[in-house]
Amino acid sequence: MATVYAVGVGPGDPELITRKAERILRRADVILAPVSNPTEASVALDTIREFIDEQRQTIIVHQFPMTSDKSRLIPAWQEAATIIAEHALAGREVAFITIGDPLFYSTFIYLLRLLRKQWPQIPIEIIPGISSINAAAAQAAITLAESEEKMAVIPATAGIDQIAAALAQFETVVLLKVRPRFADILELLRRTGRTDSVVFVERVGSPRQKVLAQFSDIEAHSPDYLSLMIIKQPAALKS
């Protein structure tokens, strides 16, 4: 029986992959890469291509639908977990790759639950990765939290009411996946006086990276799915 590895490959820059992740990726027998749309390339797989040998290793690209419909998601999770388990039980090391970190808003969280419940004998190791939040803050040179400050991370799909509540309670608010609520978020920032204390980052770590710090530029932009905002408390509120 072989080990299953969940490997965080960071936000998209191969140079941000950890040395441990690279070591696991080079030696794994099977690489399983998630994709939401079968017509698009896997960001995670593109990130690690220089570290793998596609002639020796088995590369599996598995679709996980971009939906909240559990009737579609659960079969996809179960199928992926079964594929992973079958290879591990046959003695082949499996690396499930995910952008960012495996335990931070990652599909692997659901696979981990299935594997632990249905195949508890299979050893699993988690290889952490740099999140898009850390990478985005680094590219924008913006502080996430200091001293006694508090930070909240919210998927924008949680709704404007929750975002507004977080802005009132936390010095830093990071919004993930902002595209579906983009117009509403911009209006909220205007209403709460945050237009001068927000940074927008898209596709961080990739050739398509975009960092926007001027609100007028953010307003004029049409965001990609892989985009986030870091919103700070205005200076007047901090003093």
Please tell me the CATH code under which domain 132-238 is placed: 3.30.950.10
The predicted pLDDT at position 132 comes to 95
The predicted pLDDT at position 69 comes to 78
Instruction: Tell me which residues of the chain have a pLDDT lower than 50.
Output: 236-237, 239
For 4-127, which CATH superfamily applies?
Tetrapyrrole methylase, N-terminal domain (3.40.1010.10)
Tell me how far apart the alpha carbons of residues 22 and 8 are, in angstroms, rounded to a whole number. Answer: 10
* pTM (two decimals): 0.90
3-state secondary structure of 237: helix
The structural domains of the chain, with segments of one domain joined by +, span: 4-127, 132-238
Contacts by 66-72 with C-beta closer than 8 Å and gap 24+? Answer: 66/36, 66/37
